[in-house]
Amino acid sequence: MNQKSDLKVHARLSCAPMMDWTDRHCRYLHRLLSGQALLYTEMVTAPALVRGGALHLLDHHPAEHPVALQLGGSDPDELAEAARIGAQAGYDEINLNVGCPSDRVQSGYFGAVLMEHPALVARCVAAMRAAVEVDVTVKCRIGVDDQDPEVILPEFLAHVVGAGCTRVTIHARKAWLQGLSPKENRDIPPLDYDIVHRMKGLFPNLHISVNGGVTTLDQAQGFLDAGLDGVMIGRSAYHAPCDILCAADRRIFGVGGDTNAADTVRAMVPYIDAHLAQGGKLNQITRHMLGLFTGRPGARIWRRMLSEGAHLPGAGSALVLEALAAVETLGEALAQPQEAV
């Protein structure tokens, strides 16, 4: 699945790259919930691949496609080599992180600080595009610190478009690199969706997705109806995945029917069994499944049974099915007509 035109369709709804969350087990789960949404890896730094040889970071299941690899870095040659390694590993897209306000700076710099260096970002994009045939995209903020987004964001986009980038995701917040932690940067800087819409007006041929603060499919559909090309959802897709992904194929992409939590749990069992057979641990998978029943009857017992049991020696898919049975039993009991007292 390497057709760029198809990726633009899948990018109508995507799940954001999130450190420590969107690993291969999370992505496999999300793919069961939506066959269409574009999935992203956690950020992988270019030095880790090129200098560290950490190819295990690229492990993914064939079922995850379409899936994009997000890279962090600022050296054009190193990013080009990392992109080549990623494309060779089978990823459908290579994304450059220019949005993360991370303080994990191992060598050089990466993430949102690059908003201050649009010409360098353009050189990185050009080098990556020259190294691979798959899409090279950019995820950015509207600015950092004291920058005026109305001035710098058009300039930034002009640079990356000039380098051949045809698809970007804009997190509609500034990143405050001085004084806020990465976690605080996800909530405290105010959202400015209007500027993202204005960028679409300035760059009509650029595929623009909006990211930041989107918590419902209705909200996502509203952005699409208003003329944006895509919506990227992060924490809500992780903490309440069924609210975002179960109806996404039908509502956002106009294909297929809805999925549900219970069927998805059952579909995870062979995957869980295979992971355990390879020496993996149950909680490496179930930690991503805790939110499946969020907002539904049985959510609390589901979370408790998995949280308390998945880390124990010998824990396997039987525990997952036992927790599901408890959820379904509670649901059936609540559905019974109550006798008048």
In a domain, 341, yes or no: no
Domain that holds residue 63: 4-249
> What integer pLDDT is reported at residue 104 of this predicted model?
52
Are both 238 and 266 inside the same structural domain?
A: no
Which pair of structure tokens corresponds to residue 243?
Answer: 């609210």
Are both 157 and 293 inside the same structural domain?
A: no
> What integer pLDDT is reported at residue 339 of this predicted model?
59
Instruction: Give 3-state DSSP helix, strand, coil % of the chain, rounded to 5.
Output: 50, 15, 35
Are both 58 and 165 inside the same structural domain?
A: yes
Instruction: Write down which residue in 249, 270, 297 finishes a domain.
Output: 249
Are both 174 and 147 inside the same structural domain?
A: yes
Residues known to be catalytic: 100
- Count of the separate structural domains present in the chain: 2
> What integer pLDDT is reported at residue 3 of this predicted model?
56
Are both 228 and 278 inside the same structural domain?
A: no
Residue 29 β-bridge partners: none
Are both 204 and 297 inside the same structural domain?
A: no
> What integer pLDDT is reported at residue 119 of this predicted model?
98
Are both 24 and 48 inside the same structural domain?
A: yes
In a domain, 181, yes or no: yes
Angstrom distance (rounded) from CA 335 to CA 332: 5
pTM of the predicted model, to two decimals? 0.95
**Nearest partner of 206 among 259, 272, 278, 156, judged by Cα:** 156
Are both 223 and 266 inside the same structural domain?
A: no
Element (H, E) at 150: helix 149-162
Are both 97 and 166 inside the same structural domain?
A: yes
> What integer pLDDT is reported at residue 132 of this predicted model?
98
Are both 230 and 280 inside the same structural domain?
A: no
* Residues in CB range of 217: below 8 A, 6 or more apart: 243, 244, 247, 248, 251, 252
> What integer pLDDT is reported at residue 100 of this predicted model?
87
113-141 b/e with 16+ CB inside 10 Å = b?
bbbbbbeebbbbbbbbbebbebbbbbbbb
* pLDDT tens for the chain, residues 1 to 341: 445 659 999 999 999 999 999 999 999 999 999 999 999 999 999 999 999 999 999 999 999 999 999 999 999 999 999 999 999 999 999 999 999 887 554 345 789 999 999 999 999 999 999 999 999 999 999 999 999 999 999 999 999 999 999 999 999 999 988 777 777 877 788 999 999 999 999 999 999 999 999 999 999 999 999 999 999 999 999 999 999 999 999 999 999 999 999 999 999 999 999 999 999 999 999 999 999 999 999 999 999 999 999 999 999 999 999 999 999 999 888 887 765 44
Are both 239 and 272 inside the same structural domain?
A: no
Instruction: Write down which residue in 216, 249, 282 finishes a domain.
Output: 249
Residue 327's domain is classified under what CATH number? 1.20.120.1460
User: Cis before residue 17, ω within 30 degrees of 0?
Assistant: no
In a domain, 255, yes or no: no
In a domain, 19, yes or no: yes
Q: Is the separation of the CB atoms in 107 and 155 below 8 Å? A: no
Are both 166 and 266 inside the same structural domain?
A: no
Instruction: Write down which residue in 249, 278, 296 finishes a domain.
Output: 249
In a domain, 215, yes or no: yes
